């Protein structure tokens, strides 16, 4: 990876941009004219908004990876902003899951974790043990989202600070 985590920014950012973009393309056409029976009217607009924000944050992280060596100030602002935006999404979605999600699936921990990282879910219910495992896996998946936010923020701060210090030393020499 060299001296800066450029590849990590590019991989994580591309994953988020592609995942969010894919989900936006699936949800956006449903926002007008459709309603999920038994769910609040704001559910589909919420899902479209949250996946759009994930897409924007992913694009910001990719641009951070592309500019971290050449434009440290821009990369720093964009990387921190994108990581903070992703943290807001994770916080909002955690609130949603705790207060509104009522269709947890059977399948246990692994499927709960997998579905959280891919922004999918099974719209079914199952055994109590399977649902409990799924909820625990979902919680663990949300913890990974928060860890990703913190990691991207920290790496942006460290990388841009180091690049700014190197530029200052080069200018003094």
Query: pLDDT digits over 81-111, tens only?
Result: 999 999 999 899 888 888 877 666 667 788 8
Range of the domain at 55: 6-103+149-172
Residue 135 domain-assigned?
Answer: no
Residue 138 domain-assigned?
Answer: no
The whole-number pLDDT of residue 132 equals 82
Q: Domain tally for the chain?
A: 1
Residue 122 domain-assigned?
Answer: no
Q: What is the pLDDT of residues 4-40, one digit of tens each?
A: 688 889 999 999 999 999 999 999 888 888 887 877 8
Q: What is the pLDDT of residues 122-138, one digit of tens each?
A: 666 667 777 788 888 88
Residue 50 domain-assigned?
Answer: yes
Q: What is the pLDDT of residues 141-166, one digit of tens each?
A: 899 999 988 988 888 887 766 655 66
Residue 115 domain-assigned?
Answer: no
Residue 21 domain-assigned?
Answer: yes
Residue 140 domain-assigned?
Answer: no
The whole-number pLDDT of residue 135 equals 83
The whole-number pLDDT of residue 103 equals 60
**Per-residue 3-state assignment (H helix, E strand, C coil) for 117-163:** HCCCCCCCCCCHHHHHHHHHHHHHHHHHHHHHHHHHHHHHHHHHHHH
The whole-number pLDDT of residue 127 equals 76
* CA nearest to 40, candidates 106, 89, 118, 102: 102
Residue 60 domain-assigned?
Answer: yes
Burial class (CB in 10 A: 0-12, 13-18, 19+), 42: exposed
Q: Are 142 and 90 in contact (CB under 8 A)?
A: yes
pTM comes to 0.81
The whole-number pLDDT of residue 1 equals 43
């Amino acid at each position: 990876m060299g001296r800066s985590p450029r590849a990590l920014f590019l991989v994580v950012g591309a994953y988020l941009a592609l995942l969010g973009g894919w989900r936006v393309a699936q949800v956006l056409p449903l926002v007008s004219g459709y309603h999920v029976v038994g769910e609040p009217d704001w559910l589909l607009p919420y899902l479209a908004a949250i996946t759009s924000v994930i897409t924007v944050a992913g694009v910001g992280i990719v641009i951070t990876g592309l500019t971290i060596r050449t434009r440290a100030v821009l990369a720093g602002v964009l990387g921190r902003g994108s990581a903070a935006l992703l943290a807001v999404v994770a916080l909002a979605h955690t609130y949603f899951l705790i207060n509104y999600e009522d269709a947890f699936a059977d399948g246990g921990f692994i499927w709960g974790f997998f579905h959280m990282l891919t922004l999918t879910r099974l719209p079914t219910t199952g055994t109590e043990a399977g649902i409990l495992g799924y909820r625990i896996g979902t919680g663990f998946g949300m913890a990974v989202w928060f860890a990703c936010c913190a990691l991207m923020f920290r790496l942006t701060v460290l990388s841009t600070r180091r690049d700014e210090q190197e530029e200052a030393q080069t200018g003094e020499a």
